[in-house]
Amino acid sequence: MANAPTSAAMFTPNSAQTARLTDSLDGTCISNWYEDLGDQEDQEAREGIEGIEGTQDDQDKHVKQDEARPEINLLAHHAIKHPVRPANTTTIPIFYSSAQWTADGTTILTSSSDYTISSFVLPADLLHPNPAGRTLHPQATTKLPEPSQTLAPAPFFSLGESTSQTFLVGSRDHPLHLYHAFPPDLNSSGPLAQYKLIRHETEQYITPASLIWPSPGTHFICGSPNRLDYFDVSRHGSDGPVLTVPTIPSKRHIAKGHGVGIKGTVSALAVSPTDSQGGSLVAAGTRTRWMGLYDLHRADGAVANWQISQPDLPGPAGIASGQGIVQVVWSPCGRYLVINERRASGLLVYDIRGSGKLLAVLTGRLANTQQKLTCDVFQSQDPYHAGGFEVWSGAQDGSVLVWEDVGFKAAEHDPSWAWNAHSSPVCSTILHPSGSVAATCSGGWEHPKDEEQSGAGIRGLHQAQTYKVMEESSLKLWSLHNTNADSDEPI
């Protein structure tokens, strides 16, 4: 494990914060399980979600029905409670927008619409039976100065080592900030370090649209309009990035937008697993539906780039068409790349190290929303499908869908099973590194139908009478049991 960046400002959490779970959860993989979407009452609870087309039967046809489906149990949850507001108040209700596991699997970091990062430490007895259920509470919260689209926990995060418990964020009109996940008190919750990302011509701060902090943790990468920036974690303060890679030759170059580089805001980043020579590729996706692969250690330009084109997608026109890339995820083996777009009912799977072409579209997800609905991947342990993997994603109607054996099926790939997790859009679905626990995070907003404006996005939250925050916003932890197994332990 790499050492955390040293700083005189590093804080040590109090004893109540350090006396927590330090061992990873029990369990192995999650595979070959099937689950019904739910009963009619769950469907009725979702009827108010704007923009959803189709019925429960329409989605059921994509889901396998099997007697050997998993038993899914709610382990713990935390819900945002909306206070009763006077009719003349302008207070905006709060909702969650994302969730991430830390590297050691002991903590979940959530971001919410009030510019707050919350740290939830999992209870040590999480997998012990508790019919009444458990209520989660954040052990710490950090208030950001401005809205942030990016959050990256330290890849060496360990609950047993205080100096490792950090995360990076990029806020509007500010440098990138390094925070401690468990500040000892609210008065000392300021950033531990800062990293300047500015446009030298105007000295204006550049707001990162994507951020990744890969192992071993000595450097991090952020994406912004037409550029990638590579930072050394130890060089904070007045220093900027150690390397800047333009994704197009020049803003004034005649070749701009004509097949040279990837034009647009880099809104998604992912680093592939290392190969046998210790190298890795950085996948970068843009809001203009361009993809680029970069080797920042061996080249100063793109190794490959392509644009997602509708004629290349299988099925009826528009079935998987999106409005900009919001997430890219490498398969555990590093061969395949999953591309997640805004307002896309299908997730795209590319065979990067094989044919280099689109392999499959994971269909069946309801995603007619401007919100990010992020997914996660997990290596399949089925001996008959070695090399395949699973993709987990939440949907706009509150369900979570699972596609199994990804990498072995071409063209359209229907969900293997699903379950109803929430009554509002599932913004994040994340798997514990052990595979025995899944976490889902929900919350969102919608425009009134008579005020729907294409592309308004989250900016509508700052305009009166143009949005409605949904009632349910929560973080939930789930265990999954194989009902055919002799043991009641999670698989």
Report pLDDT digits (tens) over 295-347: 998 877 889 999 987 666 666 555 557 889 999 999 999 999 999 999 999 99
3-class SS of residue 55: coil
pLDDT the model gives residue 437: 94
Please state which of the ranges 227-236, 270-279, 457-466 shows the lowest mean pLDDT: 457-466
- Tokens 């993709």, residue? 391
Mean confidence (pLDDT) of the chain: 80
Element (H, E) at 40: helix 40-45
> Does domain 25-40+54-83+92-482 sit in CATH 2.130.10.10?
yes
Q: Which two tokens stand for residue 385?
A: 């499908």
Mean pLDDT of 6-35: 35
- Tokens 């990804």, residue? 406
Q: Which two tokens stand for residue 246?
A: 């333009």
pLDDT the model gives residue 239: 81
**In this model, does residue 33 exceed pLDDT 50?**
no
> In this predicted model, what pLDDT tens digit does every residue of 417-438 receive, in sequence order?
999 999 999 999 999 988 889 9
pLDDT band, residue 56 (cuts 50/70/90): very low
- In terms of DSSP bridges, do strands 148-153 and 166-171 run parallel, antiparallel, or are they unpaired? antiparallel
**Dihedral angle over CA of 309, 312, 317, 322, nearest 10:** -40
Q: Which two tokens stand for residue 376?
A: 């996660």
Among 192-201, 242-251, 376-385, the range of highest mean pLDDT? 192-201
Please state which of the ranges 57-66, 291-300, 355-364, 474-483 shows the lowest mean pLDDT: 57-66
Among 8-17, 77-86, 373-382, the range of highest mean pLDDT? 373-382
> In this predicted model, what pLDDT tens digit does every residue of 433-473 receive, in sequence order?
888 899 999 999 887 665 444 444 444 444 444 678 888 99
**Cβ neighbours around 260 below 10 Å, total:** 17
**If 0-12 CB within 10 Å is exposed, 13-18 middle and 19+ buried, where does residue 125 land?**
exposed
pLDDT band, residue 242 (cuts 50/70/90): very high
pTM here? 0.81
Gyration radius of the chain's alpha carbons: 22
Q: Are 471 and 429 in contact (CB under 8 A)?
A: no
Q: Are 378 and 30 in contact (CB under 8 A)?
A: yes
Backbone angles phi, psi at 225, to 5 degrees: -55, 115
**Dihedral angle over CA of 468, 469, 472, 476, nearest 10:** 140
> In this predicted model, what pLDDT tens digit does every residue of 171-226 receive, in sequence order?
999 999 999 999 887 666 789 999 999 998 888 999 999 999 999 999 999 999 99
pLDDT the model gives residue 457: 42
Q: Which residues of 363-382 are buried (b: 16+ CB within 10 A; e: fewer)?
A: bbbbbebbbbbbbbbbbbbe
**In this model, does residue 23 exceed pLDDT 70?**
no
Q: How far apart are CA 188 and CA 204, in angstroms?
A: 27
The CA-to-CA distance between both ends of the chain, in Å, stands at: 27
Q: Which two tokens stand for residue 292?
A: 């680029």
pLDDT band, residue 49 (cuts 50/70/90): very low
Please state which of the ranges 85-99, 134-148, 234-248, 278-292 shows the lowest mean pLDDT: 85-99
Q: Which residues of 73-89 are buried (b: 16+ CB within 10 A; e: fewer)?
A: eebbbbbbeeeeeeeee
**In this model, does residue 276 exceed pLDDT 90?**
no
Q: What whole-number percentage of the chain has pLDDT above 70? A: 72
Query: Which residues are within 8 A (CB) of 275 and not within 5 positions of it... i.e. 6 or more apart?
Result: 334
Q: Are 361 and 412 in contact (CB under 8 A)?
A: yes
